[in-house]
Amino acid sequence: MLTAVEQSASAVVITDDKGAIEYVNPKFIELTGYSAEELIGHNPKILQAGNTSEKQYKAMWQGLLEKGEWQGELKNKKKNGEIYWAHECISVVKNQSGKITNFLAVEEDITQRKQIESALIESEQRFRQMADMTGEWLWEQDANGYYIYSSTAVNTILGMTPEMLIGKHYSELLTSEDKSDLQINSTQHKAFYALCNHYRHKNGQQVITESTGLPITDSEGELIKWRGVDRDITAQKQYQNALINSEKRTRLIIESALNAIIIMDSYGIISDWNHHAEKMFGWSKHEAIGQRLEQLIIPQRFQKQHKQGLEHYLHSGEGPILNKLLEHTAIR
C-alpha cells in the first residue's frame, strides 16, 4: 500500500487527529515545493492562499466529522508564493473503536482547468458587455433552439425583455411563413449568414432582421449551443420595396406613354428606350441602350450644341430647353 501511495500521480497528505502533518508523498512535495521535513508537524493551513474563509473551513470540518469525508476545491499557495488550485478529497481514518486517528487527503492539481474556466468566464463577460453596447441583438440558443441568452437590444427590436425571451424556442417568434421554411433546415447544424427572418413584434407589427448564427461544438464535434446576431433591417426592406414599386410604376409610365421616351446618363449614354422610341427612330431597345445619344439620333450639325448644353446643365443644373415642348430635327 505504501508503495502505491509513494508512486501515486495524486498528491497525498496524512495528518493526525489534530491536523498536524505526519506524511506527504513525493507528488505532494513536487506540487507544493516544500520538502517533507518542512511540512511534517505543521498544519496544512500553511498552504492557504488567504481567500478561504473561516466559515468555509468550519463547513469542511463539520462535513468530515458528520459524514467522514469532504470534497471540494481549495486555492493554495506553493512555497515560492505561486498560487495553485487543488481538488481535495479528505477522508477520516478511524481505529477499531471508532475513534478518529488520522485524516487522509488526496489532491489533484486543477490549476490549468481553473485558468481555462476563468478565461472562459472573462470571454463570456466581454461578449455580454459588447452585446449590450451594440445596437444589434446578440443571442444564444441551446442545442435544441431554446434561448439561453439575449442582449438588451431585443427590447428595441421586438419589444421584449431578455427575461421574456429566455426559455422560448426561436420558432415561437417567427411568422408562420418563416416557420414552415425553417423546418426544412432545422436539423442541419451548419453556420448561416445574412438569413432574412420575419418576426412578430410584441405589438403585432412585422419585424425583418438579417440573422447570422454559428454552431458551438465540443471537442468531439457534438453541438453544444448556437450563438448569433440579428440586425433590424425593417426600414431598409421597406425602403427597398418602395423603391421597387416606384421603379415598376415608372416602367409602366415609360412603356405605356404615347411619346418616345429616352433616358440617358450624365455622359450622354442611353440607359432606357421605350417602345415608341423604337417605332419613331427605328432602333430597337437592345440596339439603342449603351449608345451615345448624339451619335445615334442627333444630326452632326447639332452634336456640339448638344454636348455644350449637357455640360452646362451638369455644372449649373440649368438648361434653356428643360420642361419645354420643342420641335427638333433627328435622324433615324
252 vs 148, residue with greater confidence: 148
Mean per-residue pLDDT, 253-272: 87
Q: Could you tell me what percent of the chain has a pLDDT over 90?
A: 38
pLDDT at 125: 80
- Residues with Cβ within 8 Å of residue 163, at least 6 apart in sequence: none
Fold agreement between 2-109 and 123-236: yes
CB 161 within 8 A of CB 138: no
Q: In what order do the strands lie in the sheet with 83-94?
A: 21-24, 11-16, 100-109, 83-94, 69-77
Evaluate if residue 185 carries a pLDDT over 60. no
Residue type, 278: E
CB–CB of 83/49 below 8 Å?
A: yes
pLDDT at position 188, please?
66
Task: Look up the CATH number of domain 123-236.
Answer: 3.30.450.20
Region 105-126 average pLDDT: 87
- Quick: pLDDT tens for 28-50: 999 999 999 999 999 888 888 77
- pLDDT number for residue 104: 92
Residue 173 contacts residue 198 (beta carbons within 8 Å) = no
pLDDT at 183 over 80: no
Whether pTM > 0.75 for this model: the answer is: no
- Residues 2-109: name the CATH superfamily: PAS domain (3.30.450.20)
Mean pLDDT of the residues in the chain: 86
- What is the tens place of the pLDDT at every residue in 291-325? 998 888 888 888 888 888 888 888 888 877 777 77
Give the span between the Cα atoms of 11 and 167, in whole angstroms: 43
How far is residue 102's CA from residue 17's CA, in Å, rounded to a whole number? 5
Count CB atoms within 10 A of the CB of residue 12.
Answer: 18
pLDDT at 246: 86
Q: 161 falls in which pLDDT band (50, 70, 90)?
A: very high
pLDDT at 304: 87
Q: Is the pLDDT of residue 106 over 70?
A: yes
Q: Which CATH number fits domain 258-332: 3.30.420.40, 3.40.50.300, 3.30.450.20, 3.30.460.80?
A: 3.30.450.20
The reported pLDDT for the residue numbered 253 is: 82
Contacts of 108 (CB under 8 A, 6+ apart): 10, 11, 86, 87, 88
- Is residue 220 pLDDT above 70, yes or no? yes
User: Domain coordinates of the chain in residue numbers?
Assistant: 2-109, 123-236, 258-332
pLDDT score at 1 = 59
